[in-house]
């Protein structure tokens, strides 16, 4: 079974994001970048499926500038077999990403696509669902447990009322939640080996896909700083503050 794992290069989760002075977007100058944490979980799950003998090849794919090669090589160091970069400097919306991934799926013909449920930079939570719709494949989102057997994927997912279990015929699209697994540590020897491994590069024109944006960002601004809390001496004072200042009661 062949697995396809889309991954995204994002601002590292430990970095405090800064907005450009002109409000045109996020300042990425000299900012540490890394693999989207949810996608890292997807890579780990694909590797575990291969280690259990349920898959024979893992292909990771990223869409973005040439710097995404570093993220792809991280996935190779973790245990992926091949990497594909669709190189573009355009800002891609979730629908455009799903359309491009559809073309990659048609080219590679995987039996399972595993990707993070969302990226931590835009939190859209749309690409996996859109990809499944474009492919007309069954989907299991927010997977906290995944089992593959007899040509079917059994996905356990957390919902408001508890846990829901889905049985999906393959091929299918799975999006990962935080509780699915804990990604492994990438060793230095594997990182060095990954730097020497081949990496396929495609252009947007090679995939003949319309990536025109459907929306336009007017302005980006930082959230307002939170005001310091205050201490009250009695319940009566608390109720007064809530009524007169916060106006919540």
The H or E element spanning position 151 is none
* 245 is a domain residue: no
* 161 is a domain residue: yes
pLDDT in the model for residue 86: 94
pLDDT in the model for residue 71: 94
**CA–CA separation, 129 vs 101, rounded Å?**
12
Work out whether the CA dihedral 185, 147, 145, 75 comes out positive or negative: positive
Check whether 246 has a pLDDT greater than 80.
no
Name residues whose C-beta falls within 8 Å of residue 184's C-beta, 6 or more positions apart in sequence: 44, 47, 78, 79
The mean pLDDT of 45-67, rounded to a whole number, is 94
Domain count, the chain: 1
Q: Which residues pair with 158 in a beta bridge?
A: 163
Q: Which residues pair with 176 in a beta bridge?
A: 116, 143
CB 72 within 8 A of CB 62: yes
Length in residues, the chain: 249
Q: What is the CATH number of the domain that holds 164?
A: 3.40.50.620
Confidence of residue 28 (pLDDT cuts 50, 70, 90): confident
pLDDT in the model for residue 160: 86
CB 121 within 8 A of CB 11: yes
Check whether 51 has a pLDDT greater than 80.
yes
**CA–CA separation, 11 vs 8, rounded Å?**
10
**Joined tokens for residue 219:** 């302005």
* 116 is a domain residue: yes
pLDDT tens digit string along 66-119? 999 999 999 999 999 999 999 998 888 999 999 999 999 999 999 999 999 999
Q: CA geometry: angle at 23 spanning 126 and 30, to 5°? A: 80
Check whether 245 has a pLDDT greater than 80.
no
The domain in which residue 189 lies consists of: 2-222
Check whether 46 has a pLDDT greater than 90.
yes
**CA–CA separation, 151 vs 193, rounded Å?**
33
pLDDT in the model for residue 35: 95
- Residue 178 CB: number of other CB atoms within 10 A? 14
Check whether 164 has a pLDDT greater than 90.
yes
Work out whether the CA dihedral 218, 9, 47, 98 comes out positive or negative: positive
* 205 is a domain residue: yes
pLDDT in the model for residue 223: 81
Q: What are phi and psi of 134, to 5 degrees?
A: -65, -35
pLDDT tens digit string along 189-238? 998 999 888 899 998 888 888 888 888 888 888 888 888 888 888 999 88
Confidence of residue 27 (pLDDT cuts 50, 70, 90): confident
Q: What percent of the chain has pLDDT over 70?
A: 98
The mean pLDDT of 121-141, rounded to a whole number, is 93
Q: Which residues pair with 59 in a beta bridge?
A: 4, 82
Check whether 57 has a pLDDT greater than 80.
yes
* 154 is a domain residue: yes
Name residues whose C-beta falls within 8 Å of residue 146's C-beta, 6 or more positions apart in sequence: 45, 49, 140, 153, 154, 155, 156, 174, 180
The mean pLDDT of 163-180, rounded to a whole number, is 94
Check whether 24 has a pLDDT greater than 80.
no
* 198 is a domain residue: yes
pLDDT in the model for residue 95: 93
pLDDT tens digit string along 1-10? 999 999 999 9
Q: What is the mean pLDDT of the chain?
A: 90
* 180 is a domain residue: yes
Q: What are phi and psi of 142, to 5 degrees?
A: 55, 45
**CA–CA separation, 140 vs 227, rounded Å?**
41
* 242 is a domain residue: no
């Amino acid at each position: 079974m062949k697995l396809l794992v889309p991954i995204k290069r994002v601002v590292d989760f430990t970095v405090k994001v800064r907005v450009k002075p002109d409000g045109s977007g996020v300042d990425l100058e000299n900012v540490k970048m890394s693999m989207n944490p949810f996608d890292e979980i997807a890579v780990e799950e694909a590797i575990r499926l291969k280690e259990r003998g349920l898959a024979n090849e893992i292909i990771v794919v990223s869409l973005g500038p040439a710097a995404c090669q570093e993220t792809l090589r991280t996935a190779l160091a973790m245990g992926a077999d091949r990497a594909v970069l669709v190189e573009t400097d355009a800002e891609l919306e979730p629908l455009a990403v799903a359309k491009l991934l559809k073309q990659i799926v048609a080219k590679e013909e995987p039996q399972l696509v595993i990707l993070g449920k969302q990226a931590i930079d835009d939190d859209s939570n749309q690409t996996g669902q859109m990809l499944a719709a474009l492919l007309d494949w069954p989907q299991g989102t927010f997977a906290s447990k995944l089992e593959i057997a007899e040509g079917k994927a059994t996905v356990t997912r957390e919902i408001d009322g508890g846990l829901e279990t889905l049985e999906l015929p393959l091929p299918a699209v799975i999006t990962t939640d935080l509780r699915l697994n804990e990604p492994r540590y990438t060793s230095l020897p594997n990182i060095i080996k990954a730097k020497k491994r081949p990496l396929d590069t495609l252009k947007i024109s090679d995939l003949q896909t319309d990536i025109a944006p459907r929306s336009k960002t007017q302005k980006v601004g930082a959230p307002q700083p939170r005001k310091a809390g205050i201490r009250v001496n009695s319940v009566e004072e608390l109720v007064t503050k809530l009524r007169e200042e916060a106006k919540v009661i």
